[in-house]
Amino acid sequence: MSDQIRITLPDGSVREYPNGVTSLEIALSISEGLARNVLAAKVNGTVQDATRPITTDAAVTLLTWNDTEGKATFWHSSAHLLAEALEELYPGIQFGIGPPIEKGFYYDVDLNGQHFSQEDFKKVEDKMLELARQKQEFIRQPISKAEAVAYFEKKGDPYKLDLLERLEDGTISFYTQGNFTDLCRGPHIPHTGFIKAVKLMNVAGAYWRGDEKNKMLTRVYAVTFPKQKELDDYLHLLEEAKKRDHRKLGKELELFAFSEKVGAGLPLWLPKGTMLRERLENFLRKAQVRAGYQQVVTPHIGSKQLYVTSGHWEKYGEDSFKPILTPEAGEEFLLKPMNCPHHCEIYKTKPRSYRDLPLRLAEFGTVYRYEQSGELHGLTRVRGFTQDDAHIFCRPDQVKEEFIKVIDLVLYVFKSLGFDDYSAQISLRDPENRQKYIGSDELWEKAESAIIEASAERGLRTVTELGEAAFYGPKLDFMVRDALGRKWQLGTIQVDYNLPERFELEYTGSDNQKYRPVMIHRAPFGSMERFIAILIENSGGNFPLWLSPDQIAVLPISEKYEDYSNEVFLTLQESDIRGYVDHRDEKIGRKIRDSELNKVPFMLILGEKEQAEGLVSVRRKGEGDIGSMTIAEFVAFFQNEIKPVAKAV
């Protein structure tokens, strides 16, 4: 064993340390500030305790709160702290598992009949903070299986014994902090003092090992942070997300509804929601016309044979809506799960030559997929939805150019709707496993480099994932971050070699030979339903003026100004400004308040003075009075306010 080992840091620099150095000591040799923030370390690809000695040359990444793995280690260690606090407060309880989750962690416990509810949260939080302040170290101890079993038999913890049964001797370790010892493979943060803010979030039932034949345990959810401010910010974000929940706002703003009688997961678009949706559709339709798409319409059902040919029947038939039968024996139709097969049949309506390509067919096509009822969620998971679908049929040498055009279209959509923070994922073949993909090597290489080059030319921030491509082609997915920092997947561009093969699509080349076109599926919004849900949550219902269902509310001070109000409203309608007149017999203050609640961008107050002088008094939502103007002046002002949507592609 050599006395010195070589440690390679992420920046590529190599430093020598005595054999047995810990990651924490390495951090300290760099700076004290760094050492104060190190939660764990990745050593030759494995995350481990920062306090663990390193005994070989190694690549070391120090993990802090800013790293996903650092957070996971922090939260998992916090689960031990929660268990320690619970054991002090509820002696005799037994423990299941305590993993980190996306935001925070939980511990499953068997309270053995002791009462525990929301009212007890504060008590547990205080106990956790008290223990955290003691800066208890997490001490690792490798242990034999027999000793581990003896420990938990003595303690009387059947769940840990159950876990131990499945572990191999020689791989088992205990971790102890303060008076609490847990069976755990780690890693953990150096000591509990890093945990500065604690919040219990929820308590729920959970079967041991997720099996309903087992006992129901109590799952305690919590979240912790290294700073109180981070907890405050997080709780604020949760509040904000609740306020922006599209299911809540959709109801309040009368955009959409669900009816049990119509069926779960089948949204009903109300007049205001329909207005919003049509605006969006028209916006994209216009952009698509400019980009050379042709609009088509296809039916909501198709013969079962169509989907046998496409392969959808084999893949999804069993788990989706069952075939529709007709009086004709043996005749079967399916609700359309995808628009692509229909578009392939449109392609085949006449012979195509290389000069006809690319052919870009677009459709706002409604499709139906059977989602499990537990999976349904507002507009984001539904059983019937409308895709802003299009299929591009092109020659292999056109793939890159078409990708660039679609990327431009997607970015135009994002910019117009205020999604400024986006990135993309390029999904390629698994190079180790090429036989599982359809299409020749040459085609794949061409398409993959087309996607990579197109993304680079458009300056996209991308990550590349090998093995994430569909068996029928590589793809590009867009992710956006919304106003609350949440990530949503939007817009996919997918190359497809499969359907042209299955539908035997052809074009005649310049050499008079027959060739297969490449098919590209793309949907910038994904679906109207899901996109509008994201739009609602991102904007909190404060849509851009051009999308607002009601852009103005005309508010007469009393019924004396009814006629003048109608006259103003008609003039505005002629200028394509939408809204309503509030004819109710209510005080003007109430009318203003209601317009604000309905998030109407502009209110026009009409009374004695306005009528006499042919004026409107304008209020802007959230801002108040912005002055009086003539109707013509308001129209000009309004048109200036509808910011030109981002520069057209």
User: Which span (45-53, 354-362, 521-529, 596-604) binds Zn ion, by CB under 5 A?
Assistant: 521-529
Contact 336, 497 (CB under 8 A): no
Nearer to Zn ion, 369 or 521 (CB): 521
Least distance CB 531 / Zn ion (angstroms): 17
For 126-149, the three-class secondary structure string (H helix, E strand, C coil) is: HHHHHHHHCCCECEEEECCHHHHH
Largest CA distance in the chain: 98
- Per DSSP, what are the bridge partners of residue 364? 388
CB nearer Zn ion, residue 138 or residue 258: 138
Catalytic one of 157, 182, 388, 389 = 389
Residue 505 makes contact with Zn ion by CB under 5 A: no
Specify the amino acid at residue 201. Answer: M
Give yes or no for a contact between 394 and 517, defined as CB atoms under 8 angstroms apart: yes
Closest CA to 429 of 407, 447, 453, 405: 447
Residue type, 618: V
Encoded tokens for 424:
């993309």
Q: Is 343 annotated as a binding residue?
A: no
Sign of CA dihedral 245, 246, 247, 252: positive
Closer residue to Zn ion, CB minimum distance, 447 or 606: 447
* Shortest separation between residue 646's beta carbon and Zn ion, angstroms: 26
Identity of the residue, 298 or 416, whose beta carbon is nearer to Zn ion in the bound complex: 298
Q: Is 521 annotated as a binding residue?
A: yes
Residue among 49, 106, 100 nearest 75 (CA): 100
Residue with tokens 């003896």: 150
- Beta strand 94-95 with 53-54 is unpaired
In three-state form (DSSP H/G/I as H, E/B as E, the rest C), the secondary structure along 178-201 is CCEEEECCCCCCCEHHHCCEEEEE
Name the residue nearer to Zn ion (CB basis): 248 or 285.
285
In the residue annotation, 475 being an active-site residue is answered as yes
Question: Cβ closer to Zn ion: 244 or 521?
Answer: 521
Taking CB under 5 A as the criterion, the residue among 24, 340, 495, 534 binding Zn ion is 340
CB of 522 to Zn ion, least distance (A): 8
The upper half-sphere exposure of residue 45, i.e. CA atoms within 13 Å in the direction of its Cβ, equals 0
Q: Can you name the residues that pair with 40 across neighbouring β-strands?
A: 63
What pairs with residue 221 in β-bridges?
106, 202
Amino acid occupying residue 464: T
Alpha helices by DSSP H, 166-270: 228-244, 246-252
Distance CA 24, CA 47 (A): 13
Token digits for 421? 């923070």
| Rounded distance between C-alpha atoms, residue 634 and residue 572, angstroms | 9
Q: Which is nearer to Zn ion, 60 or 184 (CB)?
A: 184
389 catalytic residue (yes or no): yes
Q: Is 184 marked as a binding-site residue?
A: no
Point out the catalytic residue in the list 71, 521, 599, 619. 521
Asked about 482 being catalytic, the answer comes back as no
Q: How far is CA 442 from CA 109, 396, 451, 453, 454, in A?
A: 56, 10, 14, 16, 18
Of 244, 369, 383, 530, which residue is the catalytic one? 369
Among 58, 97, 172, 184, binds Zn ion (CB under 5 A): 184
Q: Is 369 known to be catalytic?
A: yes
Q: Compute the half-sphere exposure of residue 409: CA atoms within 13 Å on the CB side of its CA.
A: 27
Catalytic residue among 42, 336, 352, 391: 391
Output 312 or 521, the one with its CB closest to Zn ion: 521
Q: Which of 94, 136, 177, 387 is catalytic?
A: 387
From 180-188, 215-223, 320-328, 540-548, give the range in contact with Zn ion by CB under 5 A.
Answer: 180-188
Task: Give the containing element (helix H, strand E) for 454.
Answer: helix 441-457
Site for Zn ion in 226-285 (CB under 5 A): none
What's the start-to-end Cα distance of the chain, in Å?
Answer: 65
Does position 521 bind Zn ion by CB under 5 A?
A: yes
Nearest approach, Cβ of residue 360 and Zn ion (Å): 13
Q: How far is the CB of 95 from Zn ion (least distance, A)?
A: 11
Rounded to whole angstroms, the Cα distance separating 300 from 316 reads 17
Binding of Zn ion by 24 (CB under 5 A): no
Active site residue 295: no
Of 47 and 340, nearer to Zn ion (C-beta) is 340
| Euclidean distance between CA atoms 144 and 142, whole angstroms | 7
For Zn ion, the closer of residues 97 and 249 by Cβ is 97
From 184, 340, 344, 394, the catalytic residue: 340
Strand (E) or helix (H) holding 389: strand 384-394
The DSSP 8-state label assigned to residue 1 in this structure reads -
How many other C-beta atoms are found inside a 10 Å radius of the C-beta of residue 22?
A: 19
Length of the chain: 649
Report d(CA 572, CA 618) in Å as an integer: 14
Contact range with Zn ion by CB under 5 A, out of 177-185, 316-324, 357-365, 508-516: 177-185
Closest CB 341 distance from Zn ion, rounded Å: 9
Q: 240 and 483 in contact (C-beta within 8 Å)?
A: no
> At residue 621, what are phi and psi to the nearest 5 degrees?
-55, 130
| Identity of the residue, 62 or 184, whose beta carbon is nearer to Zn ion in the bound complex | 184
Contact track, Zn ion, 75-114, x by CB under 5 A: ----------------------------------------
Of 453, 445, 486, nearest to 469 by C-alpha is 445
80 in catalytic set = no
CA angle 39, 43, 44 (to 5 degrees): 155
The answer to whether 285 and 317 are in contact (CB under 8 A) is no
Could you say which of 475, 516, 530, 599 is catalytic?
A: 475
Residues identified as active-site: 340, 369, 387, 389, 391, 475, 521
Binding site residues for Zn(2+), as ranges? Answer: 340, 391, 521
Residues that bind Zn ion (CB under 5 A): 184, 340, 521
Binding site residues, as ranges? Answer: 340, 391, 521
